Homo-oligomer: A and B are copies of this chain.
Amino acid sequence: MSFETTLSVFELAGVFVFAVSGALAAARKGMDVVGLFALALVTSTGGGALRSVLIGDFPVPFLRTPWPLAFAAVAAVLTQLFSRWLEARMDKPIRFFDAIGLGVFMSTGAMVALQLGQPWWAALFLGCVTAVFGSVLRDLLRQEVPLLFQPAELYATAALIGGVALVAAHVGGLPRTTTMLWGAGVTIAVRLFALYFHWRTKPPVA
């Protein structure tokens, strides 16, 4: 497979897994299929949408092709019908694909920002926003303090480290493709290591 195909497959896998995880989070709150669809959609597309809105790049990405809406609808219907089965089977795969999605979203988000002429520090921020904001929206709509902001295994921090690696490669003049893969790879590696070795953030000394 070419690089573009591989990337698209990974990115779509990331979108779909984020959509399923959003729909499952809605099911746990007793929401109906409208809630399942809404949480599937915001979890999988909220980060990219916020990136677009902050820099004025319209329409937002999830309205450029029908796939994101379709994926959210499929995730909502599947979860409506099989939430118990999915809860039992999807826990481990979701964690794994979520790490891949985190890396791919950070990396493509930062690259898009750089292509649109944003400076490196804005691209770093926008890559991290692309990667994590969907989960913040998911938790706000479920009426929870965002999990992202709680002490836990490095998540936003993994995206930040991967983003620094990507920006360093970009400043160093590496080819676009290498830069993007490198940023995604570092993010995914840090996230999986953090899960495996329980690297956690701590609350402030209160």
Contact = CB atoms under 8 A, between A and B. Distances in A.
Interface of A: 26-36, 38-39, 49, 53-56, 58-60, 63, 66, 69, 79-84, 118-119, 121-122, 125-126, 136, 140-146, 148-152, 155-157, 201-206
A134 B36 CA distance: 18
Main secondary structure, interface of A, reads helix
A71 to B, nearest CB: 13
5 contacts: A27-B204, A30-B203, A33-B201, A59-B122, A83-B204
A201 B149 contact: no
Nearest to A128: B34
B140 A141 contact: yes
A142 B143 CA distance: 10
- 8 tightest Cβ-Cβ pairs between the two chains A and B: A56-B58, A35-B149, A32-B201, A83-B204, A31-B149, A34-B156, A32-B151, A143-B145
Nearest to A116: B59
Residue from A29, A56, A148, A204 having most chain B Cβ neighbours under 10 A: A204
